[in-house]
Amino acid sequence: MGNDKPMRLVLIGQPGAGKGTQAAFIVERWGIPHVSTGDMLRDEMRKGSPLGEEARGFINQGFLVPDELIFGMLKERLTRPDTGRGFVLDGFPRSQGQAVALDEYLERTEQPLTAVIVLVINDDIIVQRLSNRRVCPECARTYHLINNPPRTADRCDEYKCRQTLVQRPDDKESAIRTRLQVFHSQTAPVIEYYRQQGLLHEVQANQEILRVQIEIERILEGRPATRR
Start-to-end CA span in the chain (Å) = 23
Contact 139, 161 (CB under 8 A): yes
136 binds ligand AMP (CB under 6 A): no
Contact 123, 61 (CB under 8 A): no
64 binds ligand AMP (CB under 6 A): yes
Helical pair 67-78 and 50-61, crossing angle rounded to 10 deg: 120
Query: How many CA atoms within 13 Å lie on the side-chain side of 92?
Result: 30
Query: Is residue 19 flagged as an active site residue?
Result: yes
Query: Is residue 133 flagged as an active site residue?
Result: yes
18 binds ligand AMP (CB under 6 A): no
The nearer residue to ligand AMP, 192 or 221, going by C-beta atoms, is 192
190 binds ligand AMP (CB under 6 A): no
| Integer angstrom CA distances of residue 91 from 23, 58, 61, 124, 148 | 11, 15, 16, 20, 21
Query: Is residue 179 flagged as an active site residue?
Result: yes
- Give the residue closest to ligand AMP by C-beta: 38
Stretch touching ligand AMP by CB under 6 A, among 36-44, 104-112, 120-128, 214-222: 36-44
199 binds ligand AMP (CB under 6 A): no
Q: Which of the residues 42, 129, 133, 134 is marked catalytic?
A: 133
Query: Is residue 151 flagged as an active site residue?
Result: no
What are φ and ψ of residue 7, in 5° steps? -120, 110
Give CA–CA dist 55/221, Å, rounded: 37
Give CA–CA dist 63/126, Å, rounded: 17
Give CA–CA dist 29/88, Å, rounded: 12
Stretch touching ligand AMP by CB under 6 A, among 54-62, 78-86, 149-157, 188-196: 54-62
The nearer residue to ligand AMP, 3 or 174, going by C-beta atoms, is 174
Q: Which of the residues 77, 129, 141, 168 is marked catalytic?
A: 168
Minimum Å gap between C-beta 218 and ligand AMP is 25
15 binds ligand AMP (CB under 6 A): yes
Give CA torsion, residues 189, 193, 195, 201, to 10 deg.
-70
* Residue choice 26, 41, 121, 126 for contact with ligand AMP (CB under 6 A): 41
Residues near ligand AMP (CB under 6 A), total: 17
33 binds ligand AMP (CB under 6 A): no
For residue 66, cis peptide bond before it (omega within 30 degrees of 0): no
Residue ranges binding ligand AMP (CB under 6 A): 15, 37-38, 41, 58-59, 62-65, 70, 91-92, 94, 98, 170, 179
Residues taking part in catalysis:
19, 94, 133, 168, 179
